[in-house]
């Protein structure tokens, strides 16, 4: 019985090691070469596994994008919680959460671009929307709810709808930066757009 348990544990460790190797190799190639320019063969050759083994772990190359952002979410959620606890004006908190997210997007430019393209071009894009947008949207709505409770953000529109509006501003900015190449991610354009939108949401400037 013990030998059977040890064997199962050994197999699970091996499976995890292979999955992690695929993930780490793919992420590096996506960053270096871009998602579209990286093939499954490129990934499998790097770690010397059969393509059939790859597909046992990730049925499609696109599934790696979902995995990458899933692994980034804990960090973003932690940062959002820290921002929520800051003793600063609500508008500052909102700008900070977008600044944090923009830094993550810029650091993984090729991956972010691929994720956006898949989100908008895949017919059934619920998977990508849920990963790339939903958790971010929910975290942002918590800050907006706090602003409503403190009387700084208008209450006639729900926090989640306000979060949707701000998310749209951010998404278009990222598209302009990473797809259209109109602006750089570090430019002040994001704050200009956010502040115009926030003026319509705020009951005051605090």
Taken in order of first residue, the domains within the chain and their CATH numbers are 2-57 (1.10.10.60), 63-199 (1.10.357.10)
User: Confidence band (pLDDT; 50, 70, 90) for 122?
Assistant: low
- CB contact at 8 A, 153 and 129: no
Q: Which of 3-7, 56-60, 134-138 has the highest mean pLDDT?
A: 56-60
Q: Which two tokens stand for residue 155?
A: 């209450």
Q: Round the average pLDDT of the chain to a whole number and report it.
A: 85
pLDDT in tens, 37-59: 999 999 999 999 999 999 999 99
Q: Of 2-6, 20-24, 63-67, 80-84, where does mean pLDDT reach its minimum?
A: 2-6
Percent of the chain at pLDDT > 70 equals: 89
Query: What is this structure's pTM?
Result: 0.75
């Amino acid at each position: 019985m013990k030998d059977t348990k040890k064997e199962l544990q050994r197999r699970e460790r091996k499976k995890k090691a292979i999955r992690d190797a695929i993930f780490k190799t793919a992420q590096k190639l996506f960053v270096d070469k871009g998602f579209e320019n990286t093939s499954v063969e490129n990934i499998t050759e790097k770690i010397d596994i059969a393509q059939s083994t790859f597909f046992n772990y990730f049925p499609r190359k696109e599934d790696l994008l979902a995995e990458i952002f899933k692994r980034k979410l804990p960090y973003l959620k932690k940062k959002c919680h820290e921002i929520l606890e800051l003793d600063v004006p609500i508008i500052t908190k909102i700008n900070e959460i977008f600044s944090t997210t923009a830094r993550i997007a810029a650091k993984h430019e090729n991956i972010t671009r691929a994720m956006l393209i898949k989100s908008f071009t895949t017919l059934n894009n619920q998977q990508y929307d849920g990963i790339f947008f939903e958790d971010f949207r929910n975290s942002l709505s918590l800050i907006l709810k706090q602003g409503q409770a403190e009387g700084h953000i208008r209450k006639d529109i729900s926090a989640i709808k306000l979060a949707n509006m701000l998310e749209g501003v951010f998404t278009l900015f990222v598209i302009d930066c990473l797809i259209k190449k109109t602006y750089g991610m570090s430019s002040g354009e994001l704050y200009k757009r956010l502040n115009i939108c926030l003026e319509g949401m705020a009951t005051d400037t605090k």
